[in-house]
Chains A and B, each alone.
Chain A
Amino acid sequence: MSIIDEVECLRRIPLFANIEVPKLKLLAFTSERICFPAGDVLFRQNEMGNTAYIILDGEAHVLVDTPGGPLDVATLRRSDIVGEIAILCDVPRTASVIAETDLTVLCISKDTFFRMVMEFPQIGVEIMRVLAQRLEHTTRQVRQMAAAVAVPASAPA
């Protein structure tokens, strides 16, 4: 897979949909591509991190620690971005991500990521939108599952 495929993949991410191709190419070129074998952990909840990941190939699970054990809150596929929260606001990782299959990702360092956000304000807007969607999705999922296992209504939202 060459940098051209990576750019194709980046273009399908809503965050980057409006960015010119040369800029995406630069983003890809200055980022490292890493292959995780199935079962490998990209990062764990509560670790500090400075990298966001864009899935190029394969699937990964997002797991959140709950009092009832790890909870699978999402599955990531090609053109999904994950890990950007930790680098956006310097908080520990809010979830763990584990490779479900052999996984190829593009690692975007905090440095590069901020440079892109600074240079292209529309990425900022897109981030807000994506985060809001994700929050809504996660909340709904947790509520459904809480109802399903009859946990009291005060369960973490």
Chain B
Amino acid sequence: METSVYRFIFRYSLRQQVVLLILTLLSFPFLYASLDLPKQIVNNAIGGKNIPNNILGYPVDQIGYLMVLSGAFLALVLINGWFKYKINTYKGRLGERMLRRLRYELYARILRFPLPRFRRVSSGELIPMITAEVEPLGGFIGDALAVPVFQGGTLLVYIAFIFMQDPILGGAAVALYPFQGWLIPRLQRTVNQLGKQRVRAMRQISDRIGETVSGVQEIHAHGTAAWHLADISHRLGDVYDIRFEIYQRKFFIKFLNNFINQLTPFFFYAIGGWLVIHGSLSFGALVAVLAAYKDLAAPWKELLDWYQQKEDNRIKYEQVVEQFHLPDLLDETLVAAPPPPDTPGDPAAPPPRLTGTLSFTAVTLADDGATPVLEGVTADIRLDRHTAIVGTGTGRDEMAQLIARLLLPTSGQIRWNGQDFTRLPESVTGRRIAYVGPQPHLFAASLYENLLYGLRRPPPDSGAPADSHARHRRTESLAAGNTVLEPDGDWIDYAAAGCDGPESLETRVTALLRTVHLDDDVYAMGLNQTIDPDQRPDIAARVLAARQAVETLLTANPKLGRLVERFDPNRFNTNASVAENLLFGTPVGPTFAIDALAANDYVLYVLDKAGISRSFLEVGHQVAETMVELFSGLPPGHEFFERFSFISFADLPAFQAILAQVTKDGLDRLDGEARTRLMTLPFRLVPARHRLGLLTPEKEANLLAARRLFAQNLPADLRPAVEFFDPRRYNTAATIQDNILFGKLVYGQPQAQTRVSAMMAEVVERMDLRDCIITVGLNHPVGIAGSRLSGAQRQKAAIARALLKNPDLLVLSEATAGLDPRTQARIHAGIHENRRNRGLVWVVQQPAMAKNLDDVLVMKSGRIVEKGSYDTLNKDGTLFHELMRAD
């Protein structure tokens, strides 16, 4: 990568810079003409001097001449504008392309960082480098050549003009330029140093912010927010000082420059005047020189601005790029090159199989001169056998990562069937080796995408697309040196998973979920997902069939029937909220959200029409009274507010005021806002749960009537805001679980939840719906770094992800350590089954696990001290035996 910004600019944009320059120079005559023309219009056309008789053979009078010149002026204005527009767009496009290239290059370099590098550089530092720090470069690159050449050229022309008028005055005009040219870079150097400091200080701040975000739990757990505030305040103070210093110096340079510029006219007046008085210089010449000098100031100022900007960008570039220049950067060909094909000439052929033996010879792994983590490791790992790594001290996980080709040895050799293992590209190792560490990472996507992650292979480049927009995107990618592969193409290598397409892959994934004991979890996730019945009509149909089956079961078995109150269009559901009873559906979006109902015009209209507005308000008043009575004695923040109250602690005083007003003036005199507040409360009532006895059978009947009115009069534009409960239709807005149950759990039934879940599981199993629901559950978003899954779930998902790509060698590093013993046993059995006749290297958390593997390597403090089979090692006197006993 180019070490200086100008090398970068010239290497990738020399041609464009020249074009830009030519365009700029071409625009110059037009600019000049547009300045000159007004003089002609005023002096000749309006003043009536030198009017030609004809133009291009057409005779003209004065008015005609004026019109022609004015028309020419308008044309010049247009041409100038057009030039400016074209030049600026060209500059902008060039700058953005170069910026894109730079960012892409920097990102590509992150992917080539050796892994230990990430212990020293945080994402908090890397992110602003690629995003914010290089941003100003985009604006500068278009000016990099054109501005100095153009402004410098203008300056030279003016200077030449002055010299032609009078060499002495010319000399006087430029006399101070050498001094300025010497002084300003010197002053600028300090500013540059400060600029560097500022960048470093800002990076540390980003690093601290990143640390705060990842360690926020500890901050709260230890109550150390004050320290972090002090720390950040101190750092912001540093940045403030630096920036203020920069301002002072920058403006001082400007001041000095201005002063020196004004110094020269002083000489002109003094010396030039003296010369004129003595008659050795004509008066006209002095005036001309003075005017010319005034014109000098503009390009000179532009040049100075440009110089400061250039220095700024030069430093930014260097400071960013130096962070990405590592001596031990991974070879580009290892990371991104296509695999060497099995059969030459066929790039689509799968990479070579990883069989045979992996030989370690005197392998040492050290981190920056510290005590080596691994030292002098010599071992043969047979890739058709299962090898356990056990031991004490450091180095076991590193050993696993060396075998998985994630780390490269500091010294020593790793050879695969005689070939240098460290030169094998990732297109081979990534396909043939799978590594699962103790804390695997999941990406913020659906669980399914995470499981398929290991199958991602670049799709074959299909060449230029037909669609013009896509073709444009492709041209731009090429112009900026980016890859032309599109991320939304089909990246999945179905063959690697032993599948022939999306359907069989889904089946395979579902089977693997059982292997890693994740199927129950994903089933539960699936029950709580919604699906679009238009996209999955098969699932929707089966869910409706399951709903039917559940209904049959509930009717046939009163013991179960007692647990669920189903949605019946003609009955009030006492286990559902008043809101659900009125809507008789699931709200879609915020329009009919439970807390928005009391302010919704249509809902108020329906209540009015049903004649229950007044009684609704009364119920709201009663609820408010009860809530205030129950909860006003509790301290703020008491968990009961969150769990039970209809009114938050913060809102209590407002409701107390409303109640007092009602006592004084009655319910009818309430203002609109207070009314809305009271009207909100009844919607949340679930009669069977809250048992407040506020809804009489008569009120329930009225609400049923309101339910009908609501559905009948619903305007078309509100129709999408609610998904009605319809016994025969799939409810798009409700979860699969709610769709199957089509009702509410009855409050006050012992273990209703457990028993209903069991009943549903049985129905789902019987209807052959379980795998469908698991498929839906796979859409569950796992959250940032998998944070919406439990640790055990992440671990299981990572194992499934590794198994799915059918690697020749599976490397596990305490990958099941976080699971409970029963799950471990089940998953271990599944792994052994999967790995039959295929390679497995396993850093086991308990020595006893080595019993089921062929070979055992025993490590102690980064060295291999014993190797052999489980039986040969498990004898008195060996470290392995000692470890077994200690366990």
Q: Known contacts A22-B630, A29-B630, A30-B640; is A2 also within 8 Å of B750 by CB?
A: no
Interface stretch of the complex, out of A32-40, A72-80, A83-91: A32-40
Residue from the list B633, B691, B748 in contact with A2, Cβ < 8 A: B691
Contacts of A34 in B (CB 8 A): 748-750
- Minimal beta-carbon separation of B867 from chain A (angstroms): 49
Of B631, B640, B693, the residue contacting A4 (CB under 8 A) is B693
A150 at the interface (CB under 8 A from B): no
Q: How far is the CA of A55 from the CA of B789 in the complex (A)?
A: 41
**A101, chain B: closest CB distance, angstroms:** 15
- Contact present for A35 and B749 (CB under 8 Å): yes
A3 contact from B559, B693, B748, Cβ within 8 A: B693
Q: Is the CB of A32 within 8 A of B747?
A: yes
Nearest chain B CB to A39 CB, angstrom units: 11
Determine if B690 is an interface residue (Cβ-Cβ < 8 Å): yes
Partner of A29, one of B633, B644, B749: B644
Residues from chain A with a CB closer than 8 A to the CB of B559 are 37
B756 to chain A minimum Cβ distance, whole angstroms, is: 15
Judged by a CB distance under 8 angstroms, whether B671 is at the interface is no
Within 8 Å of chain A (Cβ to Cβ): is B629? Answer: yes
Q: Which of A22, A28, A40, A42 contacts B629 (CB 8 A)?
A: A22
Question: Does B78 touch A at the CB level, under 8 Å?
Answer: no
The answer to whether B288 has its CB under 8 Å from any CB of chain A is no
Chain B, range 239-261, C-beta contacts under 8 Å to A: none
Q: How far is the CA of A4 from the CA of B629 in the complex (A)?
A: 13
Asked if residues B692 and A3 are in contact (CB atoms below 8 Å), the reply is yes
B625 vs chain A, min Cβ distance (A)? 11
User: What does DSSP make chain A's interface, helix, strand, loop or mixed?
Assistant: mixed
- Interfacial chain B residues near A33, Cβ < 8 Å: 691, 747-748
B644 engages A3 (CB within 8 Å): no
Give the distance in Å from the alpha carbon of A2 to the alpha carbon of B622 in the complex. 14
Within 8 A of B (CB), among A14-72: 22-23, 25-26, 28-30, 32-37, 40, 42
Contact pick for A26, options B630, B692, B747, B750, CB 8 Å: B630
A157 CB-CB contact with B under 8 Å = no
> A6 CA to B750 CA in the complex, in Å?
18
Asked if B691 and A3 make an inter-chain contact with CB atoms under 8 angstroms apart, the answer reads yes
Residues of chain B with a CB closer than 8 A to A37's CB: 559
Also in contact, A29 and B690, with CB within 8 A (given A22-B630, A22-B633): yes
B693 / chain A contacts, CB cutoff of 8 Å: 2-4
Please report the total number of A residues contacting B with Cβ < 8 Å. Answer: 21
Question: Which A residues touch B644, using CB under 8 A?
Answer: 29-30
Chain B residues near A23 (CB-CB < 8 A): 633
A1 within 8 A of partner (CB): yes
| B-chain residues with CB within 8 Å of residue A3 when the two chains form the complex | 690-693
* CB nearest neighbor in A for B687: A2
1/0 per residue B738-750: CB within 8 Å of A?
A: 0000000001111
Within the assembled complex, what's the spacing in Å between the Cα atoms of A2 and B643?
20
Q: A40 to B690, Cβ gap below 8 A?
A: no
Q: Which residues of A contact B747 (CB under 8 A)?
A: 32-33
Q: How far is the CA of A23 from the CA of B631 in the complex (A)?
A: 9
Bound CA–CA A102/B629 (angstroms): 32
| Shortest Cβ distance from A4 into B: residue | B693
A40 contact set on B, CB distance < 8 A: 750
**Beta-carbon contacts of B492-519 to A below 8 Å, as 1s and 0s?**
0000000000000000000000000000
Q: Which residues of B contact A42 (CB under 8 A)?
A: 750
Of A26, A28, A29, A32, the residue contacting B748 (CB under 8 A) is A32
A29 CA to B559 CA, complexed, in Å: 27
B630 and A1 contact, CB distance less than 8 A: no
Question: Do A36 and B630 touch across chains, with their CB atoms under 8 A apart?
Answer: no
Q: Are A25 and B750 in contact (CB under 8 A)?
A: no
Task: Give bound CA distance, A6 to B690, whole Å.
Answer: 12
A119 closest partner in B (C-beta) = B633
In contact, B692 and A2 (Cβ under 8 angstroms): yes
When each residue 613-655 of chain B gets 1 if its CB lies under 8 Å from chain A and 0 otherwise, what string results? 0000000000000100111010000001001100000000000
| B93 CB, nearest partner CB in chain A, Å | 66
Determine whether the beta carbon of A6 is less than 8 Å from that of B691.
Answer: yes
- Chain B residue contacts of A36, Cβ below 8 A: 750
Contact between chains at B748 and A25 (CB < 8 Å): no
Quick one: closest A residue to B638, CB to CB?
A115
Question: Roughly how many angstroms separate A143 CA and B690 CA in the complex, as a whole number?
Answer: 45
Most buried by A among B626, B631, B640, B691: B691
Which residues from B are CB-within-8-Å of A2? 691-693
Contact with B along A108-137 (1 / 0, CB 8 A): 000000000000000000000000000000
Taken together as a complex, chains A and B put the C-alpha atoms of A38 and B317 apart, in Å, by: 81
Q: Which residue of A lies closest to B639 (CB)?
A: A111
- Considering the complex, give the chain A residue whose CB is closest to the CB of B633: A22
Q: Give A82-100 as 1s and 0s: 1 = Cβ < 8 Å from B's Cβ atoms.
A: 0000000000000000000
B626 neighbours in A (Cβ, 8 Å): 25
Min C-beta distance of A27 to chain B, whole Å: 10
Q: How far is the CB of B158 from chain A (nearest CB, A)?
A: 87
- Knowing A2-B692, A30-B640 are in contact, say whether A25-B749 is a contact too (CB < 8 A): no
**Alpha-carbon gap, A36 to B630, bound state (A):** 28
- A133–B633 Cα distance when bound, in Å, is 33
Which residues of the other chain, A, contact B640 by a CB distance below 8 angstroms? 26, 30
B contact residues around A30 at 8 Å (CB): 640, 643-644
Interface 1/0 per residue, B78-119 and A, CB below 8 Å: 000000000000000000000000000000000000000000
What is the bound-complex CA distance between A3 and B691, given in angstroms?
Answer: 6
Would A25 and B629 be within 8 Å (CB), given that A33-B748, A34-B749 are in contact? yes
Which parts of B31-67 form the interface with A (CB within 8 Å)?
none
Contacts of B750 in A (CB 8 A): 34, 36, 40, 42
Give min CB distance, A54 to chain B, whole Å: 14
CB pair A35–B748 under 8 Å, yes or no, is yes
Among A26, A29, A30, chain B packs the most CB atoms within 10 A around the CB of A29
- Offer 22 A-B interface pairs, CB within 8 angstroms, sorted by A: A1-B691, A2-B691, A2-B692, A2-B693, A3-B691, A22-B629, A22-B630, A25-B630, A26-B631, A29-B630, A29-B644, A29-B690, A30-B640, A30-B644, A32-B747, A32-B748, A33-B747, A33-B748, A34-B748, A35-B748, A36-B750, A42-B750
Beyond known contacts A25-B626, A25-B629: 12 more, CB 8 A cutoff: A2-B693, A4-B693, A23-B633, A26-B630, A30-B640, A30-B643, A33-B748, A34-B748, A34-B749, A34-B750, A36-B750, A42-B750
The interface of chain B, by Cβ under 8 A from chain A, is 559, 626, 629-631, 633, 640, 643-644, 690-693, 747-750
> Which 10 A/B pairs are nearest by Cβ-Cβ distance?
A2-B693, A3-B691, A26-B630, A34-B748, A33-B748, A35-B748, A30-B644, A2-B691, A22-B629, A34-B750
